[in-house]
Structures are given as C-alpha cells and as structure tokens.
C-alpha cells in the first residue's frame, strides 16, 4: 500500500488561512445580515421591475388541452425536432452508448 506524503508547509498554511476565512464568514452571517441582504434583493427587483418581461402578455403554450406537446413555431427548434425524429426512425438512440452509473 502506498502512504500519502506529508503535507508541505505551504499546504498547511493555506489550510489554516482558508479555515480562518471560513470562520470569519460564519461570524458575519447573522439574522440581521441576512435580513439586510433580503431587503437589498427586494429593492433591486423593484428597481428593475420595468425591465421584466410580462408573461401574462405572452402566449406560452407547452401542451394543448389533451396534454400533447404544443407545435413549435421557431425554425431552429423545428429543425432539431426533425433531426431527433429522423434518428429515432433510423434506430439511433443513446441506448448502449451510455453506461449505467457512469459519471
């Protein structure tokens, strides 16, 4: 069996520094600090509200009443769908190309 080499002084110093930084950050995370951040986020959202896309004005359909996929209108997506259908018809799938449990 191989043994691990002892850590160098640089690695030990870096570990201590990281540990100290993490402890300092933990001390800064208080309920008051979290509330302050939440207020800042809410102010930012309010300030940029005019840039948001109003989805109620858009007609977005993923499925029709019968739960079938909605027809795609964009040419690029239509092209991709046709390629996938063509691969399925030819029998080309990912089956056999992807091993179970592989990362």
Rounded to an integer, what distance in angstroms lies between the CA atom of residue 86 and that of residue 29? 54
Given the structure tokens 């160098």, which residue do they identify?
Answer: 8
Rounded to an integer, what distance in angstroms lies between the CA atom of residue 83 and that of residue 98? 20
Residue-wise pLDDT for 51-94, tens only, equals 887 777 766 666 666 777 767 778 888 888 888 888 888 877 66
Residue-wise pLDDT for 23-61, tens only, equals 998 888 889 999 999 999 999 999 988 888 777 776 666
Beta partners for residue 63, in sequence order: 69
Which has the higher per-residue pLDDT, 99 or 8?
A: 8
Entry pTM: 0.36
Structure tokens at 95: 């089956």
Assess contact for 64 and 58: CB atoms under 8 A: no
Assess contact for 54 and 60: CB atoms under 8 A: no
Query: What are the residue ranges spanned by the domains of the chain?
Result: 9-90
Q: How confident is the model at residue 18 (pLDDT cuts 50, 70, 90)?
A: very high
């Amino acid at each position: 069996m191989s043994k691990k080499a002892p850590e160098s002084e640089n690695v030990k110093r870096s570990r201590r520094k990281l540990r100290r930084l993490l402890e300092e950050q933990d001390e800064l995370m208080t309920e008051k600090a979290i509330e302050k951040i939440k207020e800042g986020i809410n102010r930012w959202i309010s300030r940029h509200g005019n840039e948001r896309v109003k989805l109620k004005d858009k007609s977005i359909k993923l499925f029709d009443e019968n739960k079938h996929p909605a027809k795609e209108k964009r040419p690029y997506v239509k092209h991709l769908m046709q390629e996938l259908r063509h691969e399925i018809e030819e029998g080309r799938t990912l089956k056999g190309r992807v091993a179970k449990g592989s990362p």
